[in-house]
């Protein structure tokens, strides 16, 4: 059995079929594309992680200054049902593990979807009153909620694809990578500078790019 056949068996024909289609039927090239997808997914983990942590910590800092460290418990503050469910789930897990429900522990248990929801339309008034302080452009000007939240949606979707080992080669990865760095700089310039220094995505992305056969999903 060839390496390609072995990998098809290991990955499942259904999963590998996408890469075969991108390679126009060339299974050896398909395996190369799968490897590239894996390498780029790995390389994007650092800027994704830094952005998520910077967003989480900035929101927690600003909300704590306004509503106290247990702001997530404030009556009527959280508007999205899934956010309230996440907080209750985090508290339940801490109780199960017999750990004190310290604010930092609760906050650390909340997912990226929780934090991106904090800049959704239902929090427009909160953004205007206080939450806009989480970020600023290089000139010091604050951003509008839509200006900040709009690029987060595709980044969240891309993050989920990477987390679930899905294909990402058909996405405009260089654009989203640049957006991650820009948004991190809005939240924390020091974190963005560190991320640029250790970031392996530019070196991992092929110098001449790569070609895929026509993909019905197009670029994201």
Q: Are 41 and 168 in contact (CB under 8 A)?
A: yes
What's the pLDDT score for residue 119?
97
Within a domain: 83 = yes
pLDDT at 10 over 80: no
Using 50, 70 and 90 to split pLDDT, how confident is the model at 4? Answer: confident
Count of the separate structural domains present in the chain = 1
Residue-number span of the structural domain to which 138 is assigned: 3-204
Q: Is residue 68 part of a domain?
A: yes
For 99, the 3-state DSSP assignment is coil
Q: What is the pLDDT of residues 110-164, one digit of tens each?
A: 999 999 999 999 999 999 999 999 999 999 999 999 999 999 999 999 999 999 9
pLDDT at 214 over 80: no
Query: What pLDDT is attached to residue 8?
Result: 74
**C-alpha neighbours within 13 Å on the C-beta side of residue 12:** 4
Which residues, including other chains, have CB under 8 Å from residue 161's CB and lie 6 or more apart? 167, 168, 171
- pLDDT at residue 217, as a whole number: 53
- Per the domain annotation, does 98 fall within a domain? yes
The reply to whether 218 falls in a domain is no
Residue 146 maps to a domain = yes
Handedness of CA 86, 92, 96, 102 (dihedral sign): positive
């Amino acid at each position: 059995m060839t390496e390609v056949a072995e990998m098809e068996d290991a990955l499942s024909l259904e999963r590998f079929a996408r890469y075969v289609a991108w390679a126009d039927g060339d299974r050896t090239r398909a395996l190369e594309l799968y490897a590239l997808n894996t390498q780029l997914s790995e390389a994007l983990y650092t800027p994704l992680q830094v952005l998520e942590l910077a967003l989480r910590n900035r929101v927690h800092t600003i909300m704590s200054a306004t509503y106290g460290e247990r702001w997530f418990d404030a009556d009527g503050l959280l508007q999205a049902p899934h956010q309230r469910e996440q907080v209750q789930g985090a508290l339940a897990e801490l109780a199960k593990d017999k750990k004190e429900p310290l604010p930092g522990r609760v906050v650390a248990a909340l997912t990226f979807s929780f934090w991106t929801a904090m800049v959704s339309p239902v929090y427009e008034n909160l953004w205007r009153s206080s939450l806009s302080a989480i970020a600023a452009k290089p000139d010091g000007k604050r951003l509008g909620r839509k200006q900040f939240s709009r690029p987060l949606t595709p980044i969240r979707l891309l993050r989920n694809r990477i987390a679930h080992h899905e294909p990402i080669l058909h996405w405009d990865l260089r654009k989203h990578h640049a957006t991650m760095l820009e948004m991190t700089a809005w939240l924390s310039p020091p974190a963005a500078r560190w991320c640029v220094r250790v970031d392996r995505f530019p070196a991992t992305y092929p110098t001449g790019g790569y070609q895929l056969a026509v993909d019905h999903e197009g670029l994201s």
